[in-house]
Amino acid sequence: MEHIEGWSPVATEQQDDLVAAPLRRLAALFDHDGAHWPGGELPPLAHWLFFLPEAPQSTIGVDGHPARGAALPPIEAPRRMWAGGRLSFHAPLPIGAQATRRSIVTDVKVKDGRSGQLTFVTVRHDVTVDGAIAVVEEQDLVFRGAGNGTPPAAPADPRMAEVRREVRFDATALFRFSALTFNAHRIHYDRPYAVAEELYPDLVVHGPYQAMLLADHLLRSRPGARLTHFSFRGARPLFVDRVAALNLAGEGQVSLWTTDQDGCACMEAEARLA
């Protein structure tokens, strides 16, 4: 871990009640009926609908992100993104239970990228119920300067999907996901800001939204399967109002990826099933 003078990692804890209402709203966003997830437990990744930030409105920055507290290192780069992560699922998260999430920064790395200096921060989250580990997650955040958000051209992904489903992300879907996750980052709903300030060509589809859809795509294709591990990383931005696709290949070790209208991979994931 990079040494940052005057700062050291501080663990934080949040508690939340795993109520059913956000899951019903997620099912609606994914065009499922209300009883899509059986068994009285959260589907994989649905803990992202809980333990949400509760920053006062007066602390929200111009980009829509809350001010960075002591739990994150004091990085001056103005742009922040959720770049990817790795999760292992150890026990179900029962609907109606009270859960605890303990979070701490475990790694900080500084690298030079196409758009300048990048700082990668890894945060470990342990989600427990009654003291027992249910989910272990490593979340990768990247902080960068205010460079161009439009990615360079890339070739189409050559992989052949065994199961492929076309999707189209419109502005209402992005707004509903932002509301579900209490995410006020303006690149997802404020087009003039996204274009003029962060230099994207259009609204940006959330990385976690794509990851959750890929996990859901897997479970639609493998009814009754149980996810044990899931990793994902953003390869390039995916933009609103364009034809996209969810792709799947493999059996026990499954590859998943989203592609844009040009066939370029945008979000890539790997999953293991029990």
Q: What is the pLDDT of residue 181?
A: 98
Tens of pLDDT along 74-97? 888 888 899 999 999 999 999 999
Q: Which amino acid is at 75?
A: I
Q: State the residue for tokens 């460079």.
A: 147
Q: State yes or no: pLDDT of 115 exceeds 90.
A: no
Count the neighbouring beta carbons within 10 Å of the beta carbon of residue 72: 18
pLDDT-based confidence at 224, cuts 50/70/90? confident
Tens of pLDDT along 179-189? 999 999 999 99
Looking at residues 59-67, what average pLDDT do you find? Answer: 89
CATH number (domain holding residue 120):
3.10.129.10
Note whether 50 and 26 are within 8 A (CB): no
The answer to whether position 125 is within a domain reads yes
Looking at residues 112-128, what average pLDDT do you find? Answer: 88
Domain count, the chain: 1
DSSP secondary structure string for all residues of the chain = ----TT-----EEEEEE--SHHHHHHHHHTT--TT-S-TTBPPTTGGGGSS-----GGGB-TTSPBPP-TTS-----SEEEEEEEEEEE-S--BTT-EEEEEEEEEEEEEEEETTEEEEEEEEEEEEEETTEEEEEEEEEEEEE-S---SPPP-PPP-PPPSEEEEEE--HHHHHHHHHHTT---GGGT-HHHHHHTS--SSPBPPHHHHHHHHHHHHHHHSTT--EEEEEEEE-S--BTTSEEEEEEEESSEEEEEEE-TTS-EEEEEEEEE-
Count the neighbouring beta carbons within 10 Å of the beta carbon of residue 1: 13
pLDDT-based confidence at 248, cuts 50/70/90? very high
Note whether 75 and 128 are within 8 A (CB): no
The answer to whether position 5 is within a domain reads no
The answer to whether position 62 is within a domain reads yes
What residue numbers bound the domain in which 106 lies? 12-273
The answer to whether position 2 is within a domain reads no
The answer to whether position 259 is within a domain reads yes
The answer to whether position 29 is within a domain reads yes
Q: How far apart are CA 10 and CA 30, in angstroms?
A: 36
Q: State yes or no: pLDDT of 241 exceeds 70.
A: yes
Looking at residues 14-36, what average pLDDT do you find? Answer: 89
The answer to whether position 6 is within a domain reads no
The answer to whether position 255 is within a domain reads yes
